[in-house]
Amino acid sequence: MKQKIIFGDEAILSFNKLIKSINPKRILIVTGKKSFRQSGASNMFYKTINCYEKHIYDSFANDPSIEDVKIGLKITKSFKPDLIIAIGGGSAIDMAKHLKIFSVNNNNLEDKIINKRSLKNSNVPFIAIPTTSGTGSESTSFAVIYIKDKKYSVESQYLLPDYALIIPELGHKMSKTVRISTALDAYCQAIESYWSVNSTRSSKLYSGKAIKILKKYILKSLNGDKKAQSEMFRAANYSGRAINIAKTTAAHAISYMLSRKYNLPHGYSVAITLGKFFVINEATNNTAIQDKRGIKYIRRNMKNLYKLMGLDSAKSCERYWYALMSKLNLTVNTKNIGIKNDADIKFLVDNINIHRLKNNPIKLNPKIISKIFHDLSNAN
């Protein structure tokens, strides 16, 4: 089944019709500890949901762990839902994905995740309703999970929600910190998916749409502009659809341990290094490349990216990126973040997500990545 994406007021009206057409006996609602009520979703959907037997699962961390998933699976097994609704940010939607897919693939969970075993489908209908404008998880077929503090990505076509209802009104109460981090995550996803070795015409179409919206509206969205905030939800969905095809690359690969070790919001931790990759990914004759389409393609593609951003070179993109970070009052100086010495840098380099690194058009080695951190230690 192809995913149906519904935006704005139409999505609110469609919710009631969808529930009636599915006609569930038991609804499992997977949501953040606060997002269901604070976003206004509980009031918006109360009359419809209250007509059915329901269970709300919200007792899990921001980064879903295997332990959280196992607790949720016990609830799912006991409750036997015939509809799953995820309402929240990327973590809530990812948790719902895990509960859906692992309810029918529930033996040897760690083995299935770590070794990427094939997964059977669950026929339980799945509706995703994002309350943040960042990950685009409502339109991706993968989900993050942590096992013993190590990040894994579960990937399966069966993880894609059947319906994505995108209602910008649900994001109006996001804090400024969350709004900034999620916007940066969407922006990084859009840019990385554009230069990814897995990019296609379709993925770059989504990336391009997201980049244009983000460049125009990201700052306006932080100043109470409702149209801009609405457009950020559209951009996040486009960036999600882009990475669903192309995946993320080096900046994301570096970000996971950076975020976890120094307690940084995910979008911020990705954005810290992303600006450096405009120049790094501008291939030279001596560059080791990973994109099979070759150096000429990489150079042409990067030039097209600069144009999309309204700029003319890798250096101008880098300057724009770090000027944006400054306008958002976010330091990129690694010493200010807490990275104090070579041992700290080595730890981060040693714990990079190898799978995401392989999606970068240019092959990176520890020396190149260490240099990024050293260069940023001198940033203003």
The pLDDT tens digits of the residues spanning 57-67 come to 998 988 889 99
Q: What would the pLDDT profile of 194-225 be if each residue is shown by its tens digit?
A: 999 999 999 999 999 999 999 999 999 998 89
Run of H or E residues at 373: helix 366-376
DSSP line for 34-102: THHHHTSHHHHHHHHHTTSEEEEE--S-SS-BHHHHHHHHHHHHHH--SEEEEEESHHHHHHHHHHHHH
Give residue 47's pLDDT: 83
Alpha-carbon gap, residue 56 to 146, rounded angstroms: 22
* Structural domains of the chain ordered from first start: 4-171 (3.40.50.1970), 176-376 (1.20.1090.10)
Give residue 251's pLDDT: 98
Give residue 36's pLDDT: 83
Residue type, 139: S
Give residue 281's pLDDT: 95
Secondary structure (3-state) at 130: strand
Give residue 1's pLDDT: 63
Give residue 161's pLDDT: 97
Q: What would the pLDDT profile of 229-271 be if each residue is shown by its tens digit?
A: 999 999 999 999 999 999 999 999 999 999 999 999 999 999 9
Give residue 41's pLDDT: 87
Run of H or E residues at 217: helix 201-221
Mean pLDDT by groups of 10 residues along the chain of 380 residues: 90 92 95 85 86 92 91 96 95 96 90 92 95 93 90 93 95 91 97 98 98 97 92 97 97 94 95 97 83 94 97 97 97 95 95 93 95 91
Give residue 380's pLDDT: 74
